[in-house]
Structure 1
Amino acid sequence: MSSHTTQPGTNGIADALNSAAEAAIDGQTDNGETLSETVLTLGQTLLNEAQTFVEGLLRPWVGYQVLIVVAVFVIAHCLRQWLGPRIRAWMGTREGWPKWRMRVLVVVHQRLRAIFFVLLLWVVVLIMREMTWPSRSYILGLVATLAIAWLAVVFATRLIRSVFLRRVVRLGAWAYVTLYVLGIVDQTAEILDAAALSIGDMRLSLLLVVQGVVVIGVLLALARFVTTTTSSRIQSNEDISPSMRVLIVKVVQIVFYAIAFYVGVRSLGIDLTGLAVLSGAIGVGLGFGLQKVVSNLVSGVIILLDKSIKPGDVISLGETFGWIQTLGARYASVVTRDGKEYLIPNEDLITSQVVNWSHSDQFVRLDIHFGTSYGCDPHQVRKLAIEAAKGVERVLSSRPPVCHIVGFGDSSVDYILRFWITDPTGGLTNIRGNVFLALWDTFKEHNISIPFPQREVRMLGDDDA
């Protein structure tokens, strides 16, 4: 039994790509027809190699290896169906585990079929290499190598949070590891580099485009991971004020993304100095067209620097009353008591009069006005009003309420009742209503009358007229 067997497909494809790449590179100095003929020759060669590969599958040991791969996949699927629910139930009992560990378990659980397939296939490959010729397990080893490489790419790209970016990087990595395992990376790169377009002194090839997408995608993913980690640490630092946290996070994001893009473009050999004049002209045009946007951006930076408004503050702006939820680069998100979220431009917060109920502290004083009849003792009214306000839950006792006479009206003695609260986020209308209700109950209990206008209507008939 001979130990040397020609493997179907792989070496032939590599040789064909190598020859076609050399022909394509040589054809760059000729006309477009020569390059087209080269591409057609490449397609015909690949078609012939595919036919040879299919014919090779009909050989006994090659067919057996394909059947073994299918059988291993079926066994891995059955194991996934049997062990998957049990592992899922076991994961549900892991209370108190860190989130990162549970996320790893979830990712592993989602890829159980692939993990079982790789493990079983490598066991089969090692057994066959010990029991028979290496050529009889060549296809199995190739498939096992590709499977473990693809699985490693899946786990590595899980670090990328963006779904679109993750898919792009994953597909690119899968394509590269496949070409690497098949041994045709250099030949494929030469063919992609041959498909080029010259614009002045700049040569843009398909290889450069692919490399740019992969490199910039990986760098942006790394920048996103670093900024996310840094942002979480900054947000958890209680020594930094909320406004400064937002400012630091935004500066970190801009710096890291800019560095990632610049390094990615420079690594591809693209000279950015030629874009300086064009970017300057575009900047002038955008400056005139996006004045409001730029004004909002600058206003947002000013707000974060002077700390006049920060997340969690309770503000009033015109008819809007609510608390700051987030401070964005262009607008601030204000949530009202009725659940509405207003996106107020940063410029309005700078140029308009804003009432910040919690700028320096959380103490807020509220005033309510009421009146009683002239027949009621004003000393008793003031005392009862203060006691009624003290009985309301949110009214501070450390800063006791006060009540004063503010005037003698046409039909009542007018009073003002002032009290303090420390939770304006809990609402102002409801606390005023509770105090009014307490005044009503107290006055009714002590026979204090609250006057109201009374009118007499006389009906005049024709005879009386």
Structure 2
Amino acid sequence: MFARKEFLARLIIHSLKTTSGWLEVACAIMIMIGTYWFSLKILSVISRHTQQRYVKFTMLLHLFSRLLWPIILFISTAIAMVIWRATTGESVLWLQLTAFTARWLLMIRLIMAILHNAIPNNRFNERYERSLSTFLWICFLLWLTSLDTFIIHLLKSLALPVGSTSLSLYTVITGSIIVGIAIIIAMWLSRITEQRILKADKLDINLRYVLVKIVKTLLVIIAVLIALPMVGINLTILSVFGGALGVGLGLGLQKIASNYVSGFIILADHSVRPGDRLNINNFTGYVTKITARFVVLRSSDGSEALIPNDTFVSNTVINDSYSSKIMSTNLTLQVAYNTDLPLALEILKEVASKQARVCDDPKPNSFVTGFADSGINLYVNYWINDPENGFMSINSAILLEIWTRFKEVGIEFPFPQQEIRILNDAKDPIACHTTLRPTNHATMQSAYPEPLPTALSVSSSYHSGQQTSHD
């Protein structure tokens, strides 16, 4: 059933010249179409009954839906091969080719499903999936036509000297593939472990992140150490690469190594935690993710900054939520000079206390901060339980409530006004009935050759009263 030596070009041509060969081709096509239709029916029934249930098993359901058709196709083809040989007594060709295709399709879909779950954040997109699938199908055709034997022999003849030993190109390629597969499996296991560790609420959040990084690093190292001997690579050869890596760390990779070490330091000393509000390099944001190399800060406008880990060790970082999550904010406003200040201060405290996001301890407080040109400056201070939700909405709600309460009790908000005074010492009827209009000194001298006994004074003042004019 799995021997490829039967698949020769002359056998395929001979099969197409016989009636039984065409019957076998038709049987293989009917099996493929029938099993595909049957798998779609099963999936439709399953999706209809599990639409609202089994949300936790979404990954397993997706894997099952991807593997159902290849499994049914392979089983059906194997049964058809047995029946064909028992009834006709002839060897099978196209059914065996269909079985090979089903088995290879099953392997490809299984690899794709593992990659989708092993690589985080769905970075394995459709483009890479199609490319890898195409490469695997090409490998299948090479294996089926026996061209892989020639290619393997050619790769084995190309040797690469490494120290006192030599590595063939075939060993390097197969070793890279096996190491890559081992690393992917290690990443898959580490991701499952990460999900379980992060759900352990009894552990500190930083300790959970440290354990996740340690487990991931150990699994990758173990995978590499297991995979290399499987392809015949002696681990002593790694000493050459270890020396080169040490030189690279000393010369150009020390910054990267510093970031990785600093990542473990900031997690171990609890200086930075997910959800903390940080201010660094004039950028304020909340910690959304801590990786081995950088920390992600997200600001209130949605922009994100990737801060290297060594910055938190070597520079000054303002952590607004280091010891407490609550934050203080304030509003300033101005009232008229005829305001009942004790009443206004009490209203400010009451309005701030009524908001659900404002803390009860410490309580809101209000103060008189100064006497300005237009009115008296007031200041209200309060603490917010959830600063990560922003300050604009809470400030707007408090200001609207203050405006409503001040209107109810008759407290006025001052606005700038200009007062014009006309001072007239002599009782000159002409001057008293002269209309005030913009003019200059030359015009006034031509209209009045003698010095005027009156004095014109314009002064600016800002208060909450009405505009007055005095003659």
How high is the TM-score relative to the length of structure 1? 0.74
Counterpart in the other structure of 1:146: 100
Kindly indicate whether residue 201 of structure 2 is the aligned counterpart of residue 238 of structure 1. yes
Where do 1:344-359 residues align within 5 Å?
344-359=307-322
1:93 is aligned with what amino acid? H
Counterpart in the other structure of 1:253: 216
Counterpart in the other structure of 2:408: 445
The separation in 2 between residues aligned to 1:9 and 1:250, in whole angstroms, is 45
Unaligned stretches of 5+ residues in structure 1: 1-7, 14-49
SS in 2 for 1:338: coil
| Residue 444 of structure 1: how far off its partner (Å) | 2.8
Q: How many residues align?
A: 415
Is the Cα–Cα contact under 8 Å of residues 372 and 451 in structure 1 kept in the other structure? yes
Counterpart in the other structure of 2:175: 212
Per-residue deviation, residues 113-170 of structure 1 (Å, max 9, x unmatched):
544543433332222333343xx13436643652453254245423333555998699
Is the Cα–Cα contact under 8 Å of residues 80 and 95 in structure 2 kept in the other structure? no
Counterpart in the other structure of 1:53: 11
Unaligned stretches of 5+ residues in structure 2: 422-437, 446-471
| Residue 215 of structure 1: how far off its partner (Å) | 2.0
Is the Cα–Cα contact under 8 Å of residues 189 and 207 in structure 1 kept in the other structure? no
The separation in 2 between residues aligned to 1:108 and 1:144, in whole angstroms, is 21
- Note the aligned Cα RMSD (angstroms): 4.0
Counterpart in the other structure of 2:435: none
Is the Cα–Cα contact under 8 Å of residues 39 and 69 in structure 2 kept in the other structure? no
| Residue 425 of structure 1: how far off its partner (Å) | 0.9
Counterpart in the other structure of 1:126: 82
**Identity over the aligned pairs, expressed in percent?**
26
| Residue 243 of structure 1: how far off its partner (Å) | 2.4
Counterpart in the other structure of 1:20: none
SS in 1 for 2:91: helix
Is the Cα–Cα contact under 8 Å of residues 85 and 92 in structure 2 kept in the other structure? no
Structure with higher Rg: it is 2
The separation in 2 between residues aligned to 1:460 and 1:353, in whole angstroms, is 62
The separation in 2 between residues aligned to 1:9 and 1:84, in whole angstroms, is 31
SS in 2 for 1:396: coil
Counterpart in the other structure of 2:296: 333
Per-residue deviation, residues 187-206 of structure 1 (Å, max 9, x unmatched):
77983675232526433334
Kindly indicate whether residue 115 of structure 2 is the aligned counterpart of residue 160 of structure 1. yes
Over 3 Å counting, the alpha-carbon distance change for 1:367 and 1:104 in structure 2 is: closer
Where do 1:396-415 residues align within 5 Å?
396-397=359-360, 399-409=362-372, 412-415=375-378
| Residue 263 of structure 1: how far off its partner (Å) | 2.7
Kindly indicate whether residue 148 of structure 2 is the aligned counterpart of residue 195 of structure 1. no
Per-residue deviation, residues 223-254 of structure 1 (Å, max 9, x unmatched):
11211111111111112222222222222222
1:461 is aligned with what amino acid? N
Counterpart in the other structure of 1:10: 5
Structure with bigger RCO (C-alpha 8 Å, 6+ apart): 1
SS in 1 for 2:114: coil
Which region of structure 1 is more displaced relative to structure 2, 142-151 or 232-241?
142-151
2:100 is aligned with what amino acid? L
The separation in 2 between residues aligned to 1:266 and 1:246, in whole angstroms, is 31
The equivalent position to 1:223 in structure 2, one of 186, 191, 197, is 186
Is the Cα–Cα contact under 8 Å of residues 73 and 117 in structure 1 kept in the other structure? no
Larger helix share, 1 or 2:
1
Over 3 Å counting, the alpha-carbon distance change for 1:84 and 1:186 in structure 2 is: closer
Where do 1:374-385 residues align within 5 Å?
374-385=337-348
Per-residue deviation, residues 297-347 of structure 1 (Å, max 9, x unmatched):
333322211212211122333543332111123322222222222223334
Counterpart in the other structure of 1:298: 261
Counterpart in the other structure of 1:19: none
Counterpart in the other structure of 1:461: 440
The separation in 1 between residues aligned to 2:207 and 2:289, in whole angstroms, is 13
Over 3 Å counting, the alpha-carbon distance change for 1:326 and 1:450 in structure 2 is: same
| Residue 422 of structure 1: how far off its partner (Å) | 0.5
| Residue 75 of structure 1: how far off its partner (Å) | 4.4
1:10 is aligned with what amino acid? K
Is the Cα–Cα contact under 8 Å of residues 357 and 424 in structure 1 kept in the other structure? no
The equivalent position to 1:311 in structure 2, one of 243, 254, 274, is 274
Counterpart in the other structure of 1:367: 330
The separation in 1 between residues aligned to 2:102 and 2:374, in whole angstroms, is 91
| Residue 423 of structure 1: how far off its partner (Å) | 0.7
Is the Cα–Cα contact under 8 Å of residues 146 and 177 in structure 1 kept in the other structure? no
The separation in 1 between residues aligned to 2:185 and 2:376, in whole angstroms, is 71
Per-residue deviation, residues 102-123 of structure 1 (Å, max 9, x unmatched):
5444445445654454343333
The separation in 2 between residues aligned to 1:267 and 1:145, in whole angstroms, is 29
Kindly indicate whether residue 44 of structure 2 is the aligned counterpart of residue 88 of structure 1. yes
Is the Cα–Cα contact under 8 Å of residues 312 and 324 in structure 1 kept in the other structure? yes
Is the Cα–Cα contact under 8 Å of residues 169 and 218 in structure 1 kept in the other structure? no
Is the Cα–Cα contact under 8 Å of residues 315 and 356 in structure 1 kept in the other structure? yes
The equivalent position to 2:29 in structure 1, one of 73, 79, 82, is 73
The separation in 2 between residues aligned to 1:187 and 1:64, in whole angstroms, is 31
Counterpart in the other structure of 1:34: none
Over 3 Å counting, the alpha-carbon distance change for 1:315 and 1:152 in structure 2 is: same
